[in-house]
Structure 1
Amino acid sequence: MRTLMAAAALSALIAGTGVAHAQSSAVEGRVDRLEREMRAVQRKVFPGGAGQTIEPQIVPETNTNIPGTPSGSAIADVTQRVAALENQVTSMTGQVEQDQYRLRQLEDAFNAYKRSTDARLKALEEGASSVGGSTPVIAPVDLGETRPTRPTRPPVEEVVAPKPTGTRAQQVAAVAKPSSGDPAEDGYTYGYRLWQAKLYPEARRELEGVVTKYPTHRRASFSQNLLGRAYLDAGAPSLAAVAFYENYKKNPNGERAPDSLYYLAQALTKLKKPAGEVCKVYTELDQLYGARLSAEMKAGVAEGRVAQKCK
């Protein structure tokens, strides 16, 4: 009888040990899989590699001998903790994927904006590329007239326009329109009066009309130069630089070509271009038009060269 009871007890112990071993093996397999997934997540979060991985907060104790086999409650506790780790890894992986998706969306939106902006800037800056490279375009804004130090000579036949008052429409209406029978002459004179009244957008439209319709008229050089002045006085030096350079390039023998080179140097100065570029413009002005410059403009060139430390 005792022999039978001992055999039954031994069989039960062996069966219990087998179940515990099977459960322990299953847990170890899940832990190994979790470790592999955690390393993959760490590579996503810390692409730098070594030295940036997260060390586990729970480490096995050393030199600890645990006799016997783990009880059912201990295995259940480990299983629950492994399941919690699996949930955390899944959540972290999903979060990393969402962050990567948002980052791709931001990059795509920025690239689209950059392409659109570059295309618009290139179209507006092609005229100034030979002066000093690509110049950022500043939208014309009526900030009030900021008269340059050395103003160009007004036409001898010009009558100073009275300062307008009232609404914008009333101010424009207060500027008298000339009627000499020469549309190019009248267009330039009217644009000049609008510029004097600080009605810069209206002045630019009138002056652009003269340049477009009468490119061979002597007032085309005057109008293109004054167009640059209108941009410069309105706080748009980049557009002013384009206008001045086009007047000099397309009509170098025009009466206002020297003036345009002079004001081109001032526009580049306002744009904070390198001193070498500004000095190059002053040198070209002296070499090509030195004999045609008035005493006042020569003094202005000398002052500009000193300010830019030209050699």
Structure 2
Amino acid sequence: MIARSARAFGLGGIAMALIATSIPAVAQDNDETRIRKLEAEVRALQRKVFPGGDGRYFEPQITAPAATANPAQPAVTSTTAVTDILARLDALEMQLQRLTAQYEVGTNAMRLLEERVEALEAANAPAPEPTPAPATSGTTTTPEPEPAAKPDPARVAAVQAITKPATGDAGDDEYSYGFRLWDAGFFPEAQQQLTLFVEQHPNHSRVSYGRNLLGRAYLDDGKPTEAAPWFLRNYQADKNGARAGDSLLFLAEAMIALKDTGRACIALSEFGETYPALATGRLSGQYATARSKVTCN
């Protein structure tokens, strides 16, 4: 509303300035009345922008020129009077612009303050209490956890029937027990046992066998994703290890199972180049079978 009033006052002032240059002197009384009314409106707007303000916030009022002492003086247009009217109109417009800007700044600051207060109130609002679950038959019951699956007694007995060697070489005994579990088809138990072996005996002479057999225990259990890291680890840890070549070929088989032809071909190519004796000897059949399952460039 203040902005509209300012625009209206500005347009009115310009119109009054144009009219004042062409009207006869007898119309100056009407202009004087309108200017005094406009000045009163400015003072009212000042009090709205600065409620309770003292004289320091108000510019001195612009007073009208003293009335002539001789009423019989001819009514002619005075250049000085017109100039004075224009100056007063310019001053009024500047006051209106300044007051309007101050009013808008104050309004915007108040809006921002209200938004911050609302945000603080929302942040400090207590969380709603949870709605209690409906009772059943007048009582509240806690659901019982589902019972864990019980192991098959026959399987437990079969695993217990596999004895663990006791040769005095703890590392060799752990590996041999894992091998017996894998050979009997108890793959999850073999995975657990062989993991124990490679973690507790990383420098044992059979560690290359253990890592390779651990990968096979996962691969034979239908878990090529878990098997591949063990094959790769065994090959990279010691390429001259007893089962490093085997692990590289089994890595190719794991990649074939995962339908990753690119990596399977890389493993097969490296196996053929790095272990030519195995490729044409002990592992020749396994190597040929693996190559027949993929088409490599």
**TM-score interval for Structure 1 and Structure 2 normalised by the shorter chain:** 0.3 to 0.5
- TM-score, normalisation: structure 2: 0.46
Whose RCO is larger (CA < 8 A, sep 6+)?
A: 1
| Structure whose CA Rg is larger | 2
